[in-house]
Structure 1
Amino acid sequence: MNFTRFDSHLSYQANGSVSNQDPTYPSPMRNENVPGIVLMLPKCFYAICLVGILLNIGVFWQRKSASRKQSPTTKLSLSLLCAMAAADTVSLMALLVMLCSRYFGLPPHLMSALCKLDVFFIHAASAFSLWCWLVLSAVRYVAIYRPYSHLTLRKEPMIAAIGVAVLCGALETWILVIVVFDQSAGGCTESIDASLLKPLHLFEIAWSYFIPLFVITFLDVRVLCCRSVWFTGLATSQLLDRPSSSSCHKESIQNRDSATTTLEKTIKRARSNRRVLQLKVLRRCLCITILDLAMNLPSYVCRLYVNMLTDEELMNMSYSMMVFEAISQLLYFAQFACNAVYLACIIYDTPKQTADSSNSVRLNQSASRYSSNGIVPRKVTGMRYPSITQPIFYDSIVKEDTTEQLISC
Structure 2
Amino acid sequence: MGNIIIIEDDKNSANILKKFLEKKNYSTDVFYDLKSVQKINLNNYDVMLLDMILPDGKGTEKIKEFIEINPYLKVIIMTGFGDVEDAVYSMKSGAFDFIKKPIDLKRLTFIIEKAYEEIALEKENTKLKYIVQESIKDDFVIGQSEIMRKLIEIVNKVIETDANLLITGETGVGKEVFTRYIQRFSKRKDKPFIIMNCAAIPKDLVESELFGYEKGAFTGADKSKPGKFELADNGTIFLDEIGELPLDIQSKLLRVLENGIIERVGGTKEIKIDVRVIAATNRNLEEEVKKGNFRMDLFYRLNVININIPPIRERKEDIPIFIEFFNKRYSKKYNKKPLKFSKDAMNMLTEYNWPGNIREIRNFVERIFIIFDTNKVINRVDIDIMLKPEENNSNKGVSVMTLEEMEREVILKALKKYNGNKTKTAKALGISLRALQYKLKKYENMLGE
> Which structure features the higher share of helix residues?
1
Q: Counting strand residues as a fraction of each chain, which structure ranks higher? A: 2
Taking structure 2 as the reference length, the TM-score comes to: 0.24
**Which of the two has higher C-alpha Rg?**
2
